[in-house]
Amino acid sequence: MEIIAVAREMQRRSDLKRMKGKRIAFVPTMGYLHEGHLNLMREGRSISDDLVVSIFVNPTQFGPNEDLAKYPRDFERDRRLCESVGVDVIFTPSPEEMYPLLFQTYVSVEGVTKNLCGLSRPGHFRGVATVCAKLFNIVKPHAAVFGKKDFQQFVTIRRMAEDLNLDVEIVGMTTTREPDGLAMSSRNTYLKTEERKSALSLYRSLLLAQDLYDKGERRAAVIIDRVAAFIESHPATAIDYVKICDAAAMEDIEFIDGDGVIALAVKVGATRLIDNHVFGETLPAYGS
């Protein structure tokens, strides 16, 4: 397994692979890998001849009061995990490599970023779109694999790729969950023991929402009220948002008559967690 830190070197390698007719798959990460990341890599491995993973904590997607400085990092552990699933290359640039002196070009995706995390994290999706556009140009993948735990991010990158005619297939993968249903996240390590129990309210509230939907409820406000009350009944929870949106436009809807997604952002203690569910899709009932 190769480790590359310089963009030009990564580009040259990808050029050579493409010239040889190799198919490149790419999984962008911020490191501190978990089973969810590894599932994305396994998918990338299955659809490619060459699998590239980036490990880069992207400063442009963090706000001034967010957790950039304390975001968990353990490169040696990440390296071993990447090797275990057959990654061919880790691209691990420095912030200076990605954003050199006088850097001033950013990518803004408009409509689909205005709601949800776009409201509570101004500038976040500009940072996400910019770093992904740069990584696509550096790694030159045929396919890039993203988890749908951050559904808005997945929709944003898919929209960017389509709007800018990027020659890359955006592959979305179902959220990987812990045995009790909690969506896997690098930030789960922040949770204290009692907070971890309260964090399960996100997943269980999605089960509640799907159950209401299965019983015929289509009014978004009714489902949102029930979900919010359930989450708030758990200690140490503070809701950022509970919303039901059109799954393509990411705009609020009053009535679910097509592809609707319920999206959550909740602070549990000091840790901000997100989760979502597209109505009608399978949401497995995990044990508690």
Enumerate the active-site residues.
Answer: 37
Q: Any idea what DSSP says for residue 209?
A: H
SS3 of 190, please? helix
User: Token pair for residue 180?
Assistant: 């009790």
**Is 267 in contact with 202 (CB distance < 8 Å)?**
no
| Range list of β-strands (E), the chain | 2-4, 24-29, 50-55, 89-91, 143-147, 169-173, 237-246, 260-268, 271-278
CB-based contacts of 65, cutoff 8 Å, min separation 6: none
> Which of 44, 146, 142, 128 has the alpha carbon at shortest distance from 85?
44
Q: How many residues can be counted in the chain?
A: 288
Instruction: Report the run of H or E that residue 210 belongs to, with start and end.
Output: helix 193-214
CA distances from 206 to 91, 106, 216, 243, 268 (A): 35, 35, 16, 12, 16
Cα–Cα dist 115/253, whole Å: 12
Cα–Cα dist 34/37, whole Å: 5
